[in-house]
Amino acid sequence: MTIRSTGGRVAAFAWLAFAALNIADLVFGFTGDPEYSLMTFTIAALLLLGCGIAYTIGLRPAIVGDDEAVTVRNPLRDTRVPWRAVRSIEGKDALVVRFTGPDGGDLQTRAWVHQTSPRAQAKAEARARKQNAKLGAQVKGRSPAGYAAEQLNEMRDRLRAKTRSGAPDKAAEAKAAEAKAEEAEPARGTVAWSIPAVAALAVPGVAVVACLILAAVS
């Protein structure tokens, strides 16, 4: 299961297309004679920096759940947490995963995807209260992050060991197997910087700075 921001991806692809057309125009001169000057290189570096930003905040962020773990991919860092290391998954104005960190301590990560303001969440809850009053039913004011949290919790419950089975012997066996696996290899989440994301910002950023310095001293 992969959860992404559709709006962010559309905006990112739109910028990438815009940047590609402009860089092609700078190189091949579709709208005029190409001019290979410091200004041209500065504009190209700025366009590439914009592409790096579009990639890191529009294309990269995602929440991924698979058979082994949940991965929260934010603009510059990746957090991967085995299901056994997950302590809770909650979603209101943002999806938050609390987990056992590499040193055994309690850590949490906040997903970039589906973040909403507290004001938007309050509006959703107010709409839910109005629906409850009209329908006489319990309708929950659920944000996109809340819905994502429900999906991930369902996946977690489905994939983790069935220690609450109706058969006591099977439940005890599953619980013992889970405890044995935890003792042999404790489940720990990991947090790491994304080298491609950092490079996507750093390389064109250095090029922009270098062009500005050259322009200042020339």
Whole-model pTM: value is: 0.79
Strands (E), the chain: 2-3, 62-65, 69-73, 77-82, 86-91, 95-100, 106-110, 190-193
Average pLDDT (31-48) is: 89
The encoded tokens of residue 4 equal 């992404």
51-55, 59-63, 80-84, 145-149: range with lowest mean pLDDT: 145-149
Contact (CB, 8 A) for 79 and 70: no
First to last CA, the chain: 53
Q: How confident is the model at residue 7 (pLDDT cuts 50, 70, 90)?
A: very high
What's the pLDDT at 134? 61
Q: How confident is the model at residue 145 (pLDDT cuts 50, 70, 90)?
A: confident
Return the biggest CA–CA distance within the chain: 81
The 10s digit of each residue's pLDDT in 107-138 is 999 999 988 766 655 665 666 566 555 655 55
What type of residue sits at position 21?
Answer: L
The 10s digit of each residue's pLDDT in 164-214 is 555 555 555 555 555 555 555 678 999 999 999 999 999 999 999 999 999
**Which has more confidence, 137 or 67?**
67
